[in-house]
Amino acid sequence: MRAANASLRWVAPLGLDDPVALASVPAETHATTRPGKGLSIRFEHAGKSFGQRQVLAGLDLSIPAGQFVAIVGRSGGGKTTLLRLLTGLDQPSRGRVLIDETPVTGLQSSVRLLFQDARLLPWQRVISNVGIARAFGWREAAQAALADVGLADRANDWPAVLSGGQRQRVALARALVNHPGVLLLDEPFGALDALTRQEMHQLVTQIWQSHGFTTVLITHDVREAVTLADRVLVLRGGRIALDLEIPDARPRLTGNAKLAALEAEILREV
Amino acid sequence: MTERVRLTSRYLDGLVPWLLPILVVAAWELAARFGVLSARVLPAPSDILVAFWITLKDGSMIHHVAVSARRALYGLVIGGGIGFVLGVLTGALPVAEKLLDTSVQMLRNIPHLAIIPLVILWFGIGEEAKIFLVAIGSLFPIYLNTFHGIRTVDRGLVEMARVYGLSPTALFLRVILPGALPSILVGLRYALGIMWLTLIVSETISASEGIGYMTMNAREFLQTDVVLLGIIVYALLGKLADSATRALEHLALSWHPAYQTRKAVAA
Q: Report d(CA A231, CA A225) in Å as an integer.
A: 8
Chain A residues within 8 A of B260 when measuring between CB atoms: 158, 160-161
What residues in B contact A132, CB-CB < 8 Å? Answer: 161, 164, 166, 174
The minimal CB distance from B257 to the residues A11, A113, A160 is found for A160
Cβ-Cβ contacts under 8 Å for B135 (sequence gap 6 or more): B74, B75, B76, B78, B79, B82
Domain assignment of residue B70, yes or no:
yes
Q: Name residues whose C-beta falls within 8 Å of residue A123's C-beta, 6 or more positions apart in sequence.
A: B178, B179, B181, B253, B255, B256
- Number of structural domains in chain B: 1
- Which of A26-35, B2-11, B33-42, B207-216 has the lowest average pLDDT? A26-35
Average pLDDT (B201-228) is 88
Q: Which pLDDT tens digit goes with each residue over A69-107? A: 999 988 877 888 898 899 888 889 989 999 998 888 888
Of A3-12, A109-118, B196-205, the range with the lowest mean pLDDT is A3-12
Asked if residue A4 has pLDDT above 80, the reply is no
- Which residues lie closer than 8 Å to A3 by C-beta, 6 or more apart? none
- pLDDT-wise least confident of B79-88, B90-99, B140-149: B90-99
Nearest CA in chain B to A28: B165
Mean pLDDT for B26-51 is 88
pLDDT of residue B157: 94
Query: How far is Cα A132 from Cα A112, in angstroms, rounded to an integer?
Result: 13
Q: Which helix (H) or strand (E) holds B205?
A: helix B177-205
Rounded Cα–Cα distance for residues A141 and B112 (Å): 54
Structural domain span for residue B93: 47-266
Optimal mutation site among B163, B184, B185, B255, interface A, most CBs of chain A within 10 A: B163
To the nearest whole number, what is the mean pLDDT of chain A? 82
Please provide the DSSP assignment of B99-117 as one string. HHHHHHHHHHTS-GGGGHH
Q: Report whether pLDDT(A12) > 70.
A: no
Residue B262: per-residue pLDDT: 45
CB A62 within 8 A of CB A40: yes
∠ CA B24-B25-B27, nearest 5°, is 65
Which sequence spans correspond to the domains of chain A?
Answer: 35-41+63-89+100-110+182-270, 121-179
Task: Among B99-103, B203-207, B258-262, name the one with the lowest average pLDDT.
Answer: B258-262
Lowest mean pLDDT among A158-167, B12-21, B60-69: B12-21
Distance of CA B193 to the CA centre of its chain: 4
Q: What whole-number percentage of chain A has pLDDT above 90?
A: 34
- Give the separation between CA A228 and CA A252, rounded to whole angstroms: 8
In a domain, B175, yes or no: yes
What's the pLDDT score for residue A9? 37
Per the CB < 8 A criterion, the answer to whether B230 and B214 are in contact is yes
Among B162, B167, B171, the residue to mutate for chain A (most A Cβ within 10 A):
B162
**Half-sphere CA count of A130, side-chain side, radius 13 A:** 34
| Cα–Cα nearest to A145, from A164, A132, A158 | A132
The Cβ-side half-sphere exposure at A234, using a 13 Å CA radius, reads: 18
Above pLDDT 70, what percent of chain A? 86
For the domain made up of A35-41+63-89+100-110+182-270, the CATH class stated in words is alpha beta
Kindly report the CA angle at A56 between A100 and A18, in degrees rounded to 5?
65
Does B231 fall in a domain?
yes
CA A263, CA A70: separation in Å to the nearest integer? 12
CB contact under 8 A, A10 and B179: no
DSSP B173: I
Q: How far apart are CA A137 and CA A132, in angstroms?
A: 12
Residue in B closest to A131 by C-alpha: B164
When pLDDT is averaged across residues A208-217 and rounded to a whole number, the result is 92
A10 pLDDT above the threshold of 50? no
Using a CB-CB cut-off of 8 Å, the residues of chain B touching A7 are 155
d(CA A158, CA A176): 20
**Which residues, in sequence order, are CB contacts of B89 under 8 Å at separation 6+?**
B96, B100
Query: Alpha helix (H) ranges present in A60-193?
Result: 79-87, 126-130, 138-148, 164-176
CB–CB of B165 and A22 under 8 A? no
Q: Where are the beta strands (DSSP E) in A29-128?
A: 41-50, 53-63, 68-72, 94-99, 102-103, 111-114
Tell whether B82 lies on the interface with A, counting CB pairs under 8 A. no
- Residue A21 pLDDT level (bands cut at 50, 70, 90): very low
CATH number for the domain that contains residue B90 = 1.10.3720.10
| Sign of the dihedral through C-alpha B76, B78, B79, B85 | positive
Q: What is the mean pLDDT of residues A48-59?
A: 86
The model scores a pTM over 0.90: no
Res. B2 pLDDT band, cuts 50 70 90: low
Spatial distance between the Cα atoms of B171 and B169, rounded to a whole number of angstroms: 5
Q: What are phi and psi of A206, to 5 degrees?
A: -65, -45
